[in-house]
Structure 1
């Protein structure tokens, strides 16, 4: 009798185990199906129907999309937005007489060798399934922030998130993120409606899979912990782009990248008007240590008649704009401008430090032909003319890992901002 009871017990246990395993597998299959569904929906949202597609030699696919059907218009604030095809003012630019001609321009992109987009379309780098699989979730693809960065903001005091500095007699807040290390030249205290500079192009070493590194210009407005910003420059970001090529990028946010904004056209926001440049596409050629230097001009300027922030590149190439309707503070002006570099990693400000490099990977003291630089540092105010900032300061998060140096040769000419570093080394353990 006891033997029969034991057999019944074992049979019942096996039945329940089989049922539980079946339920578990069905649940896993359903979750996998839901994940696949999320990815498919996101891909359909990101990749608009193409009039023409161009396969680049570097593996990118560039879709030529009707200018009126670009991702920007998925944003609620832009539902009835009428495209501004060009600025209502003449955007300022340096004359050849004032520019340093020792470095060559570098705003060619690999995809351009394989074709061009027709008039009335804009080139958009196609997002692939594997791009979304690298992100923590399909919704977070293209975002600046990492999850722990958001947790830090939520669980800390304002003083931990902000560093106050005084420049031009005005106290301003430098946003703090524990996963970011920066070396920047900054100015504050006036009403800025534009900034520009010439950045030489490098391809720095990347260490950890989630790391990325930038050389850029950005304008900021609003409180330090929830600042608004518009940004542009070059970046190496394998998690976003799937490789270690140096690429042109833009970025915007209205809350310090806690939940809003994105890179390039990976969310709705930036309105592109130019058919020649693909945001997120590789930039070449690259500068060499001790050799030829190649640079790109980057300028971001607000049209005072529309509050749109226009991006302008080398040879006065106007790419498009961040609509003023996205912003509150930046609808009128920026209160701070930064030029320089950033490294994002879970292993900055820690030991062992990431080996991801900034700039060329060389410190700022190595100067021309070795360090990354930004020349022709300029701001624009409501006079609508370019000028060197009245007062600037250098700020370094980790001076032994990455640093900046506003260097002037002799007593003539204006300074050049050099910046960069290797990350982990004998002085940055």
Structure 2
């Protein structure tokens, strides 16, 4: 075997080149990240080596290396550079003037993304928040998501002054999702019903479009919120959302549990939800020990008339709340369905 010699080509003056790389130390459950900045003459401007105590995979450590490289460039005052890794090369410039054609194209894109809000809210800090219908969110303009059909089967608490927490356990399944995505979630939000203008949600998801496989994956999603929120699994903290990156969720007015199925735009068949069985199936997906905390930080379970069950399309998905089951499982409900031709 002949070793491959990898050459380094200098950037054109006055640009810099930043090379980043990462290494995985599996036995130590840690990774290493290296950053090297050189000028057009090949002279070393700055070097950084950093150990990160986290069990990241190969792709994750490469992404982290890019992140560390960009932060290092900012800290060293390097603004016009090419960033290179094992399988990437990006150019970042401090300033660039748009051509007339590019400016016109940008104006067209801006018109496309300016969605008419159903409601506008001014925060105490003076920010204007436009509430966009959930089915018209900008994310759904992406080619992989445009015109997707969203179906919910959830238990949602009544809107109150505010809540301070939500929890529950859910069985994990791997329904056969050929197109679209399906997930089970717990969430807190501010907004009108399911038209969230602010949201933190977590659970498991099956999405071939996102993960390129048919396996369930843990996920957490948030919109801009201003309160510290923690996500934990069986007592272990796995996510932290500080108030600096999230505004207007210091006192969430609503929360819930349940399933969501997102169908592809041109498909006539929606994906399954939960295990793929309706709530009366022997292997139906189940939430147990569902609880929430009110504004007094008291832990409670959903009781009538303080919650509602939302099923967008009972022909394809349903939900049955069983209430209190036993000391081990607490308050439970089952949900799901096979999907299929769910068009109304």
TM-score range, shorter chain: 0.5 to 0.7
Equivalent residue pairs, number: 236
| Residues 198 and 376, structure 1, Cα contact 8 Å, conserved in 2 | yes
Once the two structures are superposed, the pairs formed by residues 148-159 of structure 1 within 5 Å of their partners are 158=118
For normalisation by structure 1, the TM-score amounts to 0.47
* CA distance in structure 2 between the partners assigned to 1:370 and 1:244 by the alignment: 19
Q: Select which of 332, 335, 338 maps to 1:416.
A: 332
* CA distance in structure 1 between the partners assigned to 2:204 and 2:182 by the alignment: 9
Q: Select which of 261, 267, 283 maps to 1:370.
A: 283
Mapped pair 1:228 → 2:206: no
Match of 1:204 in 2: 175
What SS does structure 1 have at the residue aligned with 2:280? helix
Structure 1: gaps of 5 or more residues: 1-43, 56-62, 70-118, 130-137, 139-149, 160-172, 256-305
Q: Select which of 219, 229, 236 maps to 1:317.
A: 236
* CA distance in structure 2 between the partners assigned to 1:235 and 1:321 by the alignment: 20
Once the two structures are superposed, the pairs formed by residues 19-418 of structure 1 within 5 Å of their partners are 50=22, 52-54=24-26, 64-65=30-31, 121-127=53-59, 158=118, 176-177=134-135, 179-190=149-160, 191-208=162-179, 211-222=180-191, 225=195, 227-254=197-224, 307-314=227-234, 316-330=235-249, 332-347=250-265, 352-354=268-270, 356-366=271-281, 369-390=282-303, 391-408=306-323, 415-418=331-334
Normalized per residue, which structure has more helix? 1
Query: Residues 336 and 240 of structure 1: is their aligned pair in 2 closer, same or farther, counting only changes over 3 Å?
Result: same
| Residues 227 and 246, structure 2, Cα contact 8 Å, conserved in 1 | no
Normalized per residue, which structure has more strand? 2
Deviation per CA, 1:181-238: give whole Å up to 9, x if none.
1110110322112100010010011122xx1110111111246655111111111112
* CA distance in structure 1 between the partners assigned to 2:343 and 2:294 by the alignment: 39
| Residues 358 and 402, structure 1, Cα contact 8 Å, conserved in 2 | yes
What SS does structure 1 have at the residue aligned with 2:339? coil
For normalisation by structure 2, the TM-score amounts to 0.57
| Residues 66 and 122, structure 1, Cα contact 8 Å, conserved in 2 | no
* CA distance in structure 2 between the partners assigned to 1:338 and 1:215 by the alignment: 11
* CA distance in structure 2 between the partners assigned to 1:402 and 1:53 by the alignment: 45
Query: Residues 421 and 201 of structure 1: is their aligned pair in 2 closer, same or farther, counting only changes over 3 Å?
Result: same
* CA distance in structure 2 between the partners assigned to 1:409 and 1:174 by the alignment: 37
Kindly state the Cα deviation for residue 239 of structure 1 after the two structures are TM-superposed.
Answer: 1.8
Deviation per CA, 1:143-164: give whole Å up to 9, x if none.
xxxxxxx9998566729xxxxx
Alignment RMSD (CA, Å):
4.1
Deviation per CA, 1:114-157: give whole Å up to 9, x if none.
xxxxx96223455489xxxxxxxx9xxxxxxxxxxx99985667
* CA distance in structure 2 between the partners assigned to 1:334 and 1:65 by the alignment: 37
* CA distance in structure 2 between the partners assigned to 1:404 and 1:229 by the alignment: 22
| Residues 191 and 198, structure 2, Cα contact 8 Å, conserved in 1 | yes
* CA distance in structure 2 between the partners assigned to 1:398 and 1:151 by the alignment: 33
| Residues 232 and 251, structure 1, Cα contact 8 Å, conserved in 2 | yes
Bigger RCO of structures 1 and 2 (CA < 8 A, at least 6 apart): 1
| Residues 358 and 422, structure 1, Cα contact 8 Å, conserved in 2 | yes
Match of 2:44 in 1: none
* CA distance in structure 2 between the partners assigned to 1:415 and 1:198 by the alignment: 10
